[in-house]
Structure 1
Amino acid sequence: MSRAESHSIHTGLSGRMLLENPLLNKGTAFTLEERSELDLHGLLPPRVETLEEQCRRAYKSFSIKPTPILKHIYLRSLQDTNETLFYALVQRHLEEMLPIIYTPVVGQACQRFSDLYRRPRGLYISYPERARMDAMLANFKRNIEVIVVTDGERILGLGDQGVGGMGICIGKLSLYSAVGGITPNQTLPIMLDCGTNNQKLLEDPNYLGWRHERIDDEQYYEFVESFIKALKRRWPNALLQFEDFAINHATPLLEKYRDELCSFNDDIQGTAGVTAATLLAAAKAADKSIEDMKIAFLGAGSAGCGIAEQIIRLMMAKGLSEEEARQRIYMVDRFGLVHDEMSDLRAFQQKLAQKHDDIQPWMTDGSVSLVDVVKHAKPDAIIGVSGQPGLFTQEIIEQMSENHEQPIVFPLSNPISQVEAIPEDIIKWSKGKALIATGSPFDPVSYEGRSYPIAQCNNIYIFPGLGLGALASGARRISDGMLDAAVQTLALSSPALINRESPLLPTLDSIQRVTNDIALAVALQAQKEELAPETELTEIEQRIREKRWSPEYRRIRMSYC
């Protein structure tokens, strides 16, 4: 049997049914031989195109769409028609298309999900149908390796989007395949529809989700528990990523299930990982060591606290005690600096609270603002995860610049409308001194004859490699050590380590290499912690190569059995 024959796909589908299957459809790239064998003559224009020719034509169609949301709709339609072409196109234009298929444009798509819905993709499990959960999972006959699940309650910085949260899961899995090389037919987006408290959605006659207020916590945790059990019965070895769960659920779910199955929360751990790696790169560029730095956060939710805990682990790895490391972290929320005499702190916030007696002299009207923290603690870096625009004011940036030669400023909130400060203002207010990374994409900033590239602190730098490494190694869980390995690998990939005028994170044209490096580091750490079977280095490298799927057409043959 020839190599081409051995890589053929055999299917029982033919004619229009084959063209309706996005995983198999090749459109105008079906050869004349395939068209004869698969009953496609007359169903396609006569010209046979190559994948490259299809990509050029598709890119032209993409380019003429006048708005970002129309570009998003076009790409989603292409994905639902021909997945191979979709991924080939995205890989060729990743930097341009990443903001379209994911943040920030995916936020608009989630808000308009019910109006834009065209074709089914993924699994919807609503609370009233919870008894059918096993049957729902059984509807997917293929082996699933990566699942992204949401309940739609905290979508980006947009809040409760109900069933529209499915858009986030679809977008995230698109990146697992485009960047991490995970085979698309082995991924599954899942929406746990627990209702919505978004009154606008409840009153929208076109809303496609369960039109009901969100269930209470007792019902909620029972629902999620039933889902996890059903998932373990159906796909016990799948990687599960929790996506955009509300603060009051995200951390408890992560802590409960991270040791039960191979799972992680990208908003907590993925965001923490990429931010910590970017901070390490910024520290190096500013001639500082992480263990000597003080870090202030605006936003003390699960994402901010997750980043803080990751940084604390980095500081402890450099020799600080846990107490010493925690003293260098300042968490500011809407009530001011978090301290140990505040009431109603969540468990993950209590661990990061400053001692009231230590910060009492900084208080103004009974609380300590971010301005007060910057003036008195003089943090080397400020990190914004507040979801509130404009809170990194000119006063704060100017004070940071007075305190430090190269202040580190990370306004990470998404989408762009919610960012704490735009890079152009930060550069201007700091007189070009600030080292910046943002959560949303921004163009380079020109200031006094110099161009300042802005790194996007995007989780895409972490989660595809983390997932690929876990799957290739057969890891049973995602440990802190595996995340730390990803962080260190990404930090070492920073162009700023070679040229201080370069961005803090690698450019997207090198992300495939970075993803492979992270996957290898994660896999080796899993083996070191005995979370995966031990192998030779060459074997795990081979597994990573074999796991990577590429968007290429394969010969499709009719199966007659």
Structure 2
Amino acid sequence: MTKAVNTVEIPAGVSGYELLENPILNKGTAFTQEERDAFALNGLLPPKIETLQDQVARCVETLKALPTQLDRYVYLRDLQDTNETLHYAVIAQDLYGILPMIYTPTVGAGCQQFSHLFRRPRGLFITAEQKDKFDEIFANPRFDNIECIVVTDGERILGLGDQGAGGMGIPIGKLAIYTGCGGIAPETTLAITLDTGTNNEERQADPLYLGWKHERVRGQEYDDFIEAFVVAVMKRWPNVLLQWEDFHKNNASRLLEKYRDRLCTFNDDVQGTASIAVGALMAAINLTGVPLKDQRVAILGGGSAGIGIADLIKCTMVQEGLSEEEARSRFYIVGRHGMVTEQTGNLEAFQKPYCQDSKRPEKENWQLDKAGTVSLLDVIRNAKPTVLVGVSGVAGSFTEDIIREMAKHTARPIIFPMSNPTSCVEAQPSDIIQWTDGNAIVGTGSPFEPFEYKGKTHYFAQCNNSYVFPGVGLAAIAVRARRITDTMFIAASKAVAAMSPAISNPNGKLLPELADMRKVSYQVAIATAKQARAEGLTENLTDAQIEEKIKAAIWEPEYKQYVPAVDKPDYA
């Protein structure tokens, strides 16, 4: 007899507390009487049998009663470790309101206090001393069905820097978004922290710190550790999607380039951040009427995120007809020592393509506030960029002078202070609106409330990677993409931009509602999968087959009926 679609067979011997303590299988008070009889649950639960909706209502009531966002973050993490279906059902009922609780900006505090908030293990913590134990650790049968891994070494957590083992909060949060927004089944996901030590003195001095108390491993030892990890991952899960998260700028782009052609992998800080920035920029262009190829872009922050954004915008400009050189010349990268030029010292390989030639005649005629250093204000005054992006992690670095100077030269300046968390944002979006007399188009990394100015409501697009990476990951898993390319991320950007409410309403929001993330992720997945097909990175599926595979891969937070996999065991 074929089992019903919504029926799950529970292995013999899994019953009682073992069932209740399995977050993937646990249904708590929603176990039916038949299930309570079959799996020795009588007496272990209150007598009332609830629906999933009843449980969600109780959780929402609890969330509302908690005093701070960090308290809500901790509560939701506990719920995730207790009952994953309920956890995601709670998220689904208010995606807009709960995303800030499970990820930015609250996850930053969660990482900083990780060792003090720790309840129970989730994911894998592997130290550099365990380089030879990857196969042993990965061999656990509970990891047999893993399809998606998010990995960090905790060195560059948001704008907060080195958090060591506390960085685990990021992979856990990203995977929660994969499931909540993209519908990737939680039992197929795995969070991993590669603990290579920490140089954070506060963590080192904390007696409760849970990580490896060792200075960060560098050089060849670090590279050998990462290589051993990748080799072990490819051996255990040949078709896995591997996402790199919050690695230091000196490693993020370097590791991406090293491994991007060996397995299905991407770096969300480099490519995901870039993709949503491009998507928001394309949506903004619908309002300004200035084609992308005619934009001039200043980026404050020359790390992996800033250069990643530049790379993807440049590739999109090339698609629109510019040469590589023409496109690259339209970018002005400003780091801690000013604009990046051929005279800037200690540049990483990924930064060098964006060096401006300071000897060109037009540069020699620039008016500078201080000889020998080209500041962001100097760039704004002389290059007259139409787009300004901030990924510096330096709060307040978009000063009033800088924003007002930009508004002098651009009728509708596009300004994206994208640093996370909120404490690191380059400028308050409400200030940007006032300093540009309401003309700026503003996108941010963290959520900000709308702002009323001169009778008009200004909405601030949250350029959240959640618009992109869940759909890209869903596509890669559903159609078994062998690689993930920059052009796949451009396809994702265009899919997001095509859903902009501003297309039909000039006063509308720049990006789709966060509450509609499931719909957004589906459209992003379709576009990404089609691009993978065009590049020969998956089998030659029809459009209908792509849609069918993506729909089949989407997990929904709903309870299924449990039946014993074999004849009912004798629990007496």
TM-score category, normalised to shorter length: over 0.9
- The residue that corresponds to 2:564 in the other structure is 558
- The residue that corresponds to 2:570 in the other structure is none
Is it true that 1:417 corresponds to 2:423 in the alignment?
Answer: yes
Q: Deviations over 1:364-383 (max 9, x none)?
A: 22011111111111100100
Is it true that 1:101 corresponds to 2:102 in the alignment?
Answer: yes
- The residue that corresponds to 1:4 in the other structure is 4
- d(CA) in 1 for partners of 2:364, 2:107: 43
**How far is 1:498 from its partner?**
1.2
**How far is 1:541 from its partner?**
0.8
Q: Choose 173-182 or 279-288, whichever is displaced more.
A: 279-288
Q: Deviations over 1:462-501 (max 9, x none)?
A: 0001011111111101012211111111111111111111
**How far is 1:6 from its partner?**
6.2
Preserved CA contact (<8 Å) 1:5 1:555: no
- The residue that corresponds to 1:154 in the other structure is 156
**How far is 1:2 from its partner?**
6.8
Q: Choose 372-381 or 133-142, whichever is displaced more.
A: 133-142
- d(CA) in 1 for partners of 2:187, 2:350: 37
**How far is 1:396 from its partner?**
1.0
Is it true that 1:512 corresponds to 2:518 in the alignment?
Answer: yes
Amino acid at match of 2:273: T
Preserved CA contact (<8 Å) 1:142 1:185: no
Is it true that 1:311 corresponds to 2:290 in the alignment?
Answer: no
Give the TM-score normalised by the residue count of structure 2. Answer: 0.97
Amino acid at match of 1:466: V
Q: Deviations over 1:61-115 (max 9, x none)?
A: 1110000000000000100000000001101111001001001100000000000
Is it true that 1:366 corresponds to 2:372 in the alignment?
Answer: yes
Preserved CA contact (<8 Å) 1:469 1:522: yes
Amino acid at match of 1:455: A
Q: Deviations over 1:493-541 (max 9, x none)?
A: 1111111111211002222122111111111111111110111221111
RMSD: 1.2
Three-state SS of the structure 1 residue aligned to 2:45 is coil
- The residue that corresponds to 2:217 in the other structure is 215
- The residue that corresponds to 2:84 in the other structure is 83
Structure 1 residue aligned with 2:432, among 422, 426, 429?
426
- The residue that corresponds to 1:74 in the other structure is 75
Q: Which runs of 5+ in 2 are unaligned?
A: 568-572
Structure 2 residue aligned with 1:350, among 349, 352, 369?
352
Q: Deviations over 1:321-356 (max 9, x none)?
A: 111111110001111111112222111111011111
Q: Residue 535 and residue 299 in structure 1: after superposition, are their counterparts in 2 closer, same or farther (change >3 A)?
A: same
1:424-463, aligned counterparts within 5 Å? 424-463=430-469
- d(CA) in 1 for partners of 2:256, 2:375: 30
Structure 1 residue aligned with 2:279, among 264, 277, 280?
277
Q: Choose 50-59 or 446-455, whichever is displaced more.
A: 446-455
Q: Which runs of 5+ in 1 are unaligned?
A: none
- d(CA) in 1 for partners of 2:364, 2:423: 34
- d(CA) in 2 for partners of 1:455, 1:103: 14
Preserved CA contact (<8 Å) 1:475 1:526: yes
- The residue that corresponds to 1:323 in the other structure is 325
- d(CA) in 1 for partners of 2:453, 2:66: 32
Structure 2 residue aligned with 1:393, among 399, 402, 425?
399
Preserved CA contact (<8 Å) 2:7 2:563: no
Is it true that 1:268 corresponds to 2:270 in the alignment?
Answer: yes
Q: Deviations over 1:221-259 (max 9, x none)?
A: 000000000111100100000000000000110000000
- d(CA) in 1 for partners of 2:309, 2:133: 38
- The residue that corresponds to 2:117 in the other structure is 116
Q: Residue 6 and residue 103 in structure 1: after superposition, are their counterparts in 2 closer, same or farther (change >3 A)?
A: closer
**How far is 1:5 from its partner?**
6.3
Q: Deviations over 1:117-141 (max 9, x none)?
A: 0011101111112221111111234
Q: Residue 324 and residue 14 in structure 1: after superposition, are their counterparts in 2 closer, same or farther (change >3 A)?
A: same
Preserved CA contact (<8 Å) 1:27 1:82: yes
- d(CA) in 2 for partners of 1:53, 1:208: 37
- d(CA) in 2 for partners of 1:4, 1:444: 47
- d(CA) in 2 for partners of 1:9, 1:403: 66
- d(CA) in 2 for partners of 1:482, 1:406: 29
1:104-183, aligned counterparts within 5 Å? 104-139=105-140, 140-183=142-185
- The residue that corresponds to 2:499 in the other structure is 493
Q: Residue 93 and residue 533 in structure 1: after superposition, are their counterparts in 2 closer, same or farther (change >3 A)?
A: same
**How far is 1:450 from its partner?**
1.7
Three-state SS of the structure 1 residue aligned to 2:359 is helix
Q: Deviations over 1:163-211 (max 9, x none)?
A: 0011000000000001111000000000000000001111111000001
- d(CA) in 1 for partners of 2:499, 2:318: 22
- d(CA) in 2 for partners of 1:164, 1:182: 24
What is the percent sequence identity of the aligned residues?
A: 50
**How far is 1:558 from its partner?**
2.5
**How far is 1:10 from its partner?**
2.1
Three-state SS of the structure 1 residue aligned to 2:239 is coil
- d(CA) in 1 for partners of 2:364, 2:81: 58
Amino acid at match of 2:163: Q
Preserved CA contact (<8 Å) 1:103 1:415: yes
Preserved CA contact (<8 Å) 1:152 1:244: yes
- d(CA) in 1 for partners of 2:150, 2:92: 21
Q: Deviations over 1:27-79 (max 9, x none)?
A: 00000111111111111111111111111111001110000000000000100
Preserved CA contact (<8 Å) 2:7 2:562: no
- The residue that corresponds to 2:240 in the other structure is 238
1:167-206, aligned counterparts within 5 Å? 167-206=169-208
- d(CA) in 2 for partners of 1:8, 1:306: 43
Amino acid at match of 1:474: R
Q: Choose 384-393 or 493-502, whichever is displaced more.
A: 493-502
Preserved CA contact (<8 Å) 2:6 2:560: no
